[in-house]
Amino acid sequence: MTEQVSSLTVTDNRTGRTYEVPVADGTIRASAFRAIKVDDDDFGLMAYDPAFTNTASCRSAITYIDGDAGILRYRGYPIQELAEKSSFLEVAYLLLAGELPTSDELSTWEDEITHHTLVHESIKKFIDGFHHDAHPMGMLVSTVGALSTFYPDAKTIDDPGLRRLQIVRLIAKITTLAAFSYRHSVGFPYVYPDNDLSYAGNFLNMMWKATELKYEPDPNLEHALDVLFILHADHEQNCSANAMRAVGSSQADPFSAAAAAIAALYGPLHGGANEQVLRMLADIGSVENIPAFIAQVKDGKKKLMGFGHRIYKNYDPRARVIRQVADEVFKVTGTNPLLDLAMELERIALEDEYFISRKLYPNVDFYTGIIYQAMGFPVEMFPVLFAIGRMPGWLAQWEEGLLDPEQKIARPRQLYIGYDERPYVPMHVRSAATDAETDPIAAQAAQAAPSRPLR
C-alpha cells in the first residue's frame, strides 16, 4: 500500500495553541497527542477507545477486510477463490510465508505437518486427569499451554528455524489434542494419527474411528471440513488474535501465546456464536413461527443470532461459501430440519426493510453450527473446531508482531477514575463488622457463589 502523508491541524482551546499532526494511510499516531499539553508538567493528551474499536494496534500484511463491501482477503487473495481452489494447509502456508507455495514447497510443508501430529504420551496422562465432564475447550487451553514444557526450545523465539518448528508443531498437534479432548469427554480410547490421510481426514479419523482397521473419511465431509478451516483461518485483529499478539509481545513462547488466544476464543461472544444460532433456531421451532419471532426481534424482545457483524456491514463473504459447503454435507448426512428453518429465516430477514436498513446480513456463524451438528460434532466442540482453523492465522499474527521493529510489549494506558490520595485508616478505627449484611464484599461473594456439592 502506498503511504500518503498529509496532516491534521488541531487547535487546543484550553491554551489556544495549534498543532500539526501527521496523517499517514488514514491514521494518526496516538503518541502525537502527547505533545498537546496545558503546561510542562502535563502528561499530554491520550485517546480513550474502549475495546479498541477505532484504534489500529499494528501494521499488518496478512488479512484485508472491507466490511462495507463484504471483502475478505488473505495476503491479497479473495477468500472465495482460496476456499474453492486451495487446501487448508496451502492457505496456512500462504498466511505464514506470504505467498502461495509451489508444488514442492507444499509437499514438504504437508509432510512436516503430517509427521508432527503425535504428542508425548505424558500429554495423554495429562488429559486423563481432567474430570469426565470437562469442556473440550478448557482441556485444549491447558494442553496447548502445557506443550511449552515439552519443547523448551520454543523459548528461543529469535531463531527462525526454531520458530518454524514450533509453528509446525502447533498446527500439527492441535488436531490431535482436540480429538483426544473429545474422546476423553465421551470415555472413548484415543486414536492415533494416520499419516496416510489429509489434514482434515486425519482429524475425522481421530474423532470418529471405532473398531475398523482403517478409517476412511467421506470425501465430501473431508472437503467440507477443510473449507470450514480455511474460512476461519484468520480474521484480522479480532479478540483472540489480539490476545496472541499481546502475550507474544512479552516474548513468551508461541505455545503459551496460543493458549491465551484459545482462552479468548473460549468466550461465548467470540467462539460460541454458532451455538447461539442453534439455540435460536431450536427456540423458533418451525417455519410457521418465524414471523412472530421476527416481530419480537423488532420489538427488542429477541435477538437475531448469526446476523450482523462488528466488521461486516454487508453479506459476510464467508457465509456465501458456507451455503455451498452445506449442500456437500447434507448430501451425505441427509437434510436437517434446522437448515430449512435457517434458509427461510434468512430469506424473510433479507427482504425486510428493518434488517436491510440496519445492514444486518448473515455472518459465518449462521450456518456453521448447523453443518457441524449434521457432521456429528457436539456443540462443545464448535469452538474447538474454530481454534483448529484459526491456528495458522494466530501464528502468522504472532510472528509478524515479533518481527515488527515498531512493536514493544503491549501496555495500554488507562483513565484512572478512582480515589485521589487519602489518609490510611488504622484497623482499630475501621468497622469490625464482617457479616454479609454489612460487609459489601462478603455480601457480593454470598450472592455470587452457587450452591453445589464438592467433588
Please list the active-site residues. 309, 365
Q: How many CB atoms lie within 10 A of CB 352?
A: 15
| 77 vs 426: CA distance, rounded Å | 65
CB 145 within 8 A of CB 255: yes
CB 91 within 8 A of CB 233: yes
| 75 vs 67: CA distance, rounded Å | 17
> Which of 144, 127, 380 has its CA nearest to residue 263?
144
Calculate the CA dihedral of residues 249, 250, 255, 261 and round it to 10 degrees: -50
